[in-house]
C-alpha cells in the first residue's frame, strides 16, 4: 500500500455508507446490479463485493436472494454512524493548538451523530499495525484526525496511522505535510499571515516593529530572519536587525527578550509576537514596566488563541480559527472522496484562509478606529492541491 493510501474497497464503503446516512439512498431503495454499480463506481466487482459485505455486516444493506440488494430499513441501521479517532501530540503546554482543536472536533462529530475516540500519538504507537486495524474495524472507525504537523517523513506514527486503512486528515498541518505523509491535510498560509500582521502594524502607524520569534526552525512562521527583514522594509518599516530576536516559549526567556528589544535602536513602538501565547507573557512584562498597550506599545499576535480577546486590552491577531479547522477536518473524514486521489489514494492539501482580527492592542489613537474587525485573507478554501 502506498504511503497514506486508502484501499479501494474502503473508499467505496465510505461513499456508499455516506449516501445511505445522508438519505441519498433511502430506506428500502434497491441498489443497481453489481455489474452496473461497479462500472458506475469505477471499481472491480471483487472490490465492490468486499465493500457490500462490510455494509451488510454493519446493517446498512440487506441482500435478498433472487431480488437484489436493498438499503435496510431505518430500524436495522446501527444507532451510531461510526467513530472518528483523534490522535494528538503528547505535549501538554497550554500553547499547544490541539487543546483548542480536539474539543471542537468532538463537538462537530457529535452534530453528525458520530462518536470520537481521543488518544495521544505516544499511546497510539504502542500498538502493532494489526492491533490498530483490528481496533478500527471493531469500533467502526471511519477516519482519523491527527493534530501533528511539520513531518520529516521518517516518523513511525505515519505507518501506524496508515495501518487503520481509513482516511487520515491532518487538521492543522504544515504546507508540505500532505506530500510527505500521503495524508489529506488542512494548512494555513503562515508566511502570508506573518506578512499581513506586519502590514497591519505599519497601517496603524508603526515603523519600528520589534519581532519576537520562536527559537525553532519555523521561528518566524515559515519565514527566515532575512526574509522577515525584507518584508519589514517592503512594508515601509525599519529593517534593523536589532529589532528582531528569537527565544523559546518560556516566561523568563520572553521577559528577558522583551526588555532587550525595548532597549534596541531604533526604539520599538510595536511588538509582533510569534504567537498569541508569547503575547500573553509580553503583556505581563509591559505591565511590570508600567508601559500601556497600545498607547506606549502596540501588540500583535499570531494563531487565534480563543482567550486572547479576554486580555486587557483585547489582543489583535492573525486568527487561524481553530474551530473552523476542526469543522473542516470532520467533514473531510465524512466525505473523503474530494480530498484523496482516486487512483493513488494519496491525500491532498486543503488551504484554509486566515482572518486578521484588529482589536484594541493595535488601535490607532484616533476616534475612527473600529475594534475587532475581521479581514478574510486568501479566500481559497475549497481549492485542492495534488
Adjacent-strand bridge partners of 185: 170, 349
Give the H/E segment covering residue 291: none
Q: Quick check: is 222 in a domain?
A: yes
Query: Considering 76, 93, 119, which residue would you say is the last residue of a domain?
Result: 76
**Does 362 share its domain with 229?**
yes
**Does 365 share its domain with 220?**
yes
Give the H/E segment covering residue 168: strand 168-173
Q: How many domains does the chain have?
A: 3
pLDDT at position 3 over 70: no
Distance CA 364, CA 289 (A): 22
**Does 331 share its domain with 283?**
no
**Does 218 share its domain with 297?**
yes
What pLDDT is recorded for position 167?
Answer: 95
**Does 122 share its domain with 44?**
no
pLDDT at position 383 over 90: no
**Does 203 share its domain with 175?**
no
**Does 195 share its domain with 302?**
yes
pLDDT at position 9 over 70: yes
Q: Quick check: is 92 in a domain?
A: yes
CA 159 to chain centre: 20
Q: Which three cell numbers stand for residue 342?
A: 482516486
pLDDT tens digits, one per residue of 123-161: 999 999 999 999 999 899 999 999 999 999 999 999 999
**Does 295 share its domain with 341?**
no
Q: Quick check: is 1 in a domain?
A: no
**Does 308 share its domain with 204?**
yes
Distance CA 216, CA 89 (A): 17
Domain that holds residue 269: 190-319+354-379
The string over 142-156, giving b where at least 16 C-beta atoms fall within 10 Å of a residue's C-beta and e elsewhere, is bbbbbbbbebeeeee
**Does 273 share its domain with 338?**
no
Q: Which of 160, 154, 155, 217 is nearest to 190 (CA)?
A: 217
Q: Quick check: is 12 in a domain?
A: yes
Distance CA 124, CA 88 (A): 10
Q: Quick check: is 386 in a domain?
A: no
Q: Quick check: is 307 in a domain?
A: yes
In sequence order, what are the residues at sequence separation of 6 or more whose Cβ sits closer than 8 angstroms to the Cβ of residue 95?
A: 249, 275, 277
Q: Which three cell numbers stand for residue 178?
A: 500532505
pLDDT tens digits, one per residue of 290-314: 999 999 999 999 999 999 888 999 9
Q: Quick check: is 385 in a domain?
A: no
| Residue 14: pLDDT band with limits 50, 70, 90 | confident
Describe the strand order of the beta sheet including 168-173 as a list of residue ranges: 115-120, 83-88, 141-146, 168-173, 184-187, 349-351, 384-385
Q: Which of 195, 157, 202 is nearest to 177 (CA)?
A: 157
**Does 205 share its domain with 311?**
yes
Q: Quick check: is 384 in a domain?
A: no
Distance CA 29, CA 258 (A): 67
Amino acid at each position: 500500500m502506498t504511503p497514506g493510501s486508502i484501499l479501494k474497497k474502503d473508499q467505496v464503503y465510505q461513499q456508499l455508507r455516506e449516501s445511505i446516512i445522508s438519505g441519498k439512498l433511502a430506506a428500502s431503495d434497491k441498489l443497481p446490479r453489481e455489474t452496473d454499480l461497479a462500472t458506475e463506481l469505477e471499481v472491480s466487482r471483487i472490490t465492490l463485493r468486499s465493500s457490500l459485505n462490510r455494509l451488510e455486516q454493519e446493517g446498512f444493506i440487506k441482500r435478498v436472494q433472487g431480488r437484489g440488494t436493498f438499503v435496510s430499513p431505518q430500524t436495522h441501521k446501527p444507532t451510531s454512524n461510526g467513530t472518528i479517532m483523534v490522535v494528538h501530540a503528547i505535549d501538554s503546554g497550554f500553547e499547544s493548538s490541539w487543546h483548542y482543536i480536539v474539543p471542537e472536533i468532538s463537538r462537530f462529530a457529535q452534530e453528525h451523530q458520530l462518536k470520537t475516540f481521543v488518544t495521544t500519538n505516544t499511546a497510539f504507537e504502542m500498538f502493532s499495525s494489526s492491533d490498530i486495524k483490528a481496533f478500527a474495524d471493531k469500533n467502526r472507525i471511519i477516519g482519523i484526525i491527527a493534530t501533528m504537523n511539520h513531518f520529516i517523513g521518517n516518523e513511525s506514527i505515519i505507518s501506524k496511522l496508515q495501518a487503520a486503512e481509513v482516511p487520515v486528515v491532518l487538521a492543522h498541518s504544515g504546507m508540505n505535510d500532505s506530500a510527505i505523509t500521503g495524508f489529506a491535510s488542512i494548512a494555513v498560509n503562515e508566511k502570508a499571515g506573518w506578512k499581513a500582521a506586519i502590514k497591519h502594524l505599519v497601517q496603524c502607524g508603526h515603523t519600528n516593529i520589534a519581532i519576537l520569534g520562536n527559537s525553532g526552525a519555523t521561528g518566524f512562521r515559515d519565514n527566515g530572519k532575512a526574509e522577515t527583514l525584507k518584508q519589514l522594509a517592503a512594508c515601509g518599516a525599519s529593517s534593523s536587525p536589532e529589532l528582531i530576536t528569537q527565544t523559546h516559549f518560556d516566561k523568563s526567556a520572553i521577559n528577558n527578550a522583551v526588555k532587550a528589544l525595548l532597549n534596541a535602536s531604533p526604539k520599538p513602538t510595536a511588538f509582533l509576537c510569534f504567537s498569541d501565547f508569547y503575547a500573553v507573557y509580553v503583556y505581563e512584562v509591559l505591565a511590570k514596566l508600567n508601559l500601556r498597550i497600545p498607547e506606549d506599545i502596540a501588540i500583535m499576535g499570531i494563531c487565534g488563541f480563543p482567550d486572547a480577546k479576554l486580555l486587557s486590552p483585547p489582543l489583535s491577531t492573525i486568527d487561524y480559527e481553530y474551530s473552523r479547522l476542526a469543522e473542516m477536518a470532520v467533514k473531510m473524514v465524512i466525505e473523503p472522496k474530494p480530498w484523496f486521489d482516486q487512483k493513488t489514494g494519496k491525500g491532498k492539501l486543503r488551504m484554509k484562509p486566515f482572518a486578521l482580527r484588529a482589536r484594541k492592542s493595535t488601535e490607532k489613537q484616533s476616534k475612527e478606529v473600529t475594534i475587532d474587525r475581521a479581514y478574510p485573507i486568501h479566500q481559497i478554501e475549497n481549492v485542492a492541491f495534488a
